[in-house]
Structure 1
Amino acid sequence: MSDTLAIIGGTGLTQLPGLTISKAHDVQTPFGSPSAPILEGELDGHRVLFLARHGHPHRIPPHQVNYRANLWALQNLYATDVIAVTAVGGITHNMAARKLVVPIQIIDYTYGRDNTIFEGELSQVTHVDFSYPYTESLRQLLLKAAKQVDEPVINGGVYGATQGPRLETAAEIFRMEQDGCDVVGMTGMPETVLARELKLRYAALSVIVNPAAGKGEGVITIKEIEENLDDGMERVKRILHTAVDQFYG
């Protein structure tokens, strides 16, 4: 079977505009149920799978997302490549609100999440190389698509994955900046490593929706996040349409 692209939509992208849905798959996995039925359909004439990470409507907090079921279900439906859309906070000076980022590295600060498919009664111990967590060919696809639609995108940066659902303290963000993080989000792990375990090519497209704690003026407000999210997601949708065309082109 030929390669199939899956898109995981995060906060602000619980639906994929333009997707002509042919089937909603209610997949049962060894790890339970995914966040929502996986939608199969056509986007600009190409077969695409779409999954709302937080459910539809948006109801599952980041620490309770069943990441294992989500990724396993996509693979079970013959996905080979996954583009994950995420909303993040900006840490370093060039990571301003409303900018788009295609990260290249990730640091995991989460805890207590089911973060591997390799557990239980196993015939052998399995380790996966995670030196470079994002698939470079898929990263380049996103960058090329963004350039084609004239949407500025930051190439690179380190994503710091925190537990949530609360936002971080200013001291935590200061520590993360010292660690080398450029943006902060709550869903990058274990999603990224599970894709690697399942041999799925994976890349992320992140929308910066606010300055991280201590990096802006005053406290972070939901109104600010929502305004930046709406603007960013419109640009993300343009990139995704072009990325799908290039993936199957």
Structure 2
Amino acid sequence: MPQATIGVIGGSGLYRMEGMTDLEEVAVETPFGAPSDVITIGKLEGVPVAFLPRHGRGHRLSPTEIPVRANIWALKSLGVQWVISVSAVGSLREHIAPRDLVVPDQLFDRTKSRVNSFFEGGLVVHCTFAEPFCPTLSRLLLETARELGDVRVHEGGTYVCIEGPLFSTKAESLAYRSWGMDIIGMTALPEAKLAREAELCYATLACVTDYDCWHESEESVSVELVVQNLNANVTNAQRILRRLVSKIPADRSTVSCDCSQALASAIITDRAVIPEAVREKYRLLIEKYL
């Protein structure tokens, strides 16, 4: 089976990677079922990359329906160590305009119907999640976006993740602003949490499509508005990804982040009482700690 150390999860509007060569589609089965779609492995600027459309090709899956555990597990099983998530978001700040890009550094969870962990059935794990995005990958992503020169990109900010699929009410949007949130979307969680449990370096390129519904001088968010602005951002996201992949280190031991050791002190369950079936189920994630 082909392997790649870099994975890209494409959000709304990004269903295939332009410029990839030597393509091979891989159907991966996981303990959590099938991922959103087949994973395309190929070379981007000569670098092996695994690409997965988050909502499936044709946009078949709503945010709550996305099989996030299967998606992250499948990428991990193919050798992926670095994951760049491309996501559509709304802006909760005047200075973050539609068609801007944001590399957020914090998350706020407002989801309510999603499984937030791989681990269950006799294995308890508590990962550190104070810094939800990989600082190394986020820095590379930000620097690469700035190199384009003709794209406005914002460093840092808090992404509030809501359940969806409906957009926020005006009352909710105003409340999120008062809490200090900067952008709003529906897919960063539990994706970032599961990436941490899988010891992947994970960062998000957030593509701003609208001002949500708080902005009095703008029309309320609509699917038409989102799609129009998203299409403009997807082109820039593709440009950034083509430049970025060659900058990502092949060896994570040379970087300063702790993502690759996230489980080192996080497994709370006594190893002696972990059922053998559970050990086998999670071998991909925990083998080096057993």
> TM-score w.r.t. structure 1 length?
0.95
Residues 111 and 162 in structure 2, CA contact (< 8 A), matched pair in contact too? yes
2:143 aligns with 144
Matched, 1:127 2:115: no
| Structure with max Cα Rg | 2
Q: Which amino acid aligns with 1:34?
A: P
Residues 21 and 39 in structure 1, CA contact (< 8 A), matched pair in contact too? no
Matched, 1:181 2:181: yes
1:161 aligns with 161
Identity of aligned residues (%): 39
1:203 aligns with 203
For residues 176 and 192 of structure 1, what CA distance do their matches in structure 2 show? 20
Shift of 1:46: 0.7
After superposition, residues 203-242 of structure 1 pair within 5 angstroms as: 203-216=203-216, 217-242=218-243
After superposition, residues 80-95 of structure 1 pair within 5 angstroms as: 80-95=81-96
- Higher mean alpha-carbon deviation, 88-97 vs 4-13, is at 88-97
For residues 127 and 92 of structure 1, what CA distance do their matches in structure 2 show? 33
For residues 22 and 228 of structure 2, what CA distance do their matches in structure 1 show? 28
Structure 1, unaligned stretches of length 5 or more? none
Matched, 1:193 2:193: yes
Q: Which amino acid aligns with 2:10?
A: G
What is the root-mean-square deviation of aligned Cα atoms in Å? 1.5
For residues 173 and 92 of structure 2, what CA distance do their matches in structure 1 show? 7
Aligned residues: 246
Residues 1:22 and 1:219: Cα distance change in structure 2 (over 3 Å): closer
Shift of 1:248: 5.5
Residues 97 and 210 in structure 1, CA contact (< 8 A), matched pair in contact too? yes
Shift of 1:219: 2.0
Shift of 1:21: 4.3
1:7 aligns with 8
Shift of 1:70: 0.1
1:31 aligns with 32
For residues 113 and 47 of structure 1, what CA distance do their matches in structure 2 show? 31
**Structure 1 ranges of 4+ moved more than 6 A:** none
Shift of 1:148: 2.0
Residues 42 and 48 in structure 1, CA contact (< 8 A), matched pair in contact too? yes
Shift of 1:218: 3.2
Residues 89 and 210 in structure 1, CA contact (< 8 A), matched pair in contact too? yes
Shift of 1:144: 1.4
For residues 14 and 120 of structure 2, what CA distance do their matches in structure 1 show? 32
For residues 86 and 198 of structure 1, what CA distance do their matches in structure 2 show? 20
Shift of 1:165: 0.5
Q: Which amino acid aligns with 1:137?
A: T
For residues 104 and 189 of structure 2, what CA distance do their matches in structure 1 show? 13
Shift of 1:152: 2.5
> TM-score w.r.t. structure 2 length?
0.82
For residues 89 and 247 of structure 2, what CA distance do their matches in structure 1 show? 26
For residues 200 and 18 of structure 2, what CA distance do their matches in structure 1 show? 24
Give the SS at the match of 1:188: coil
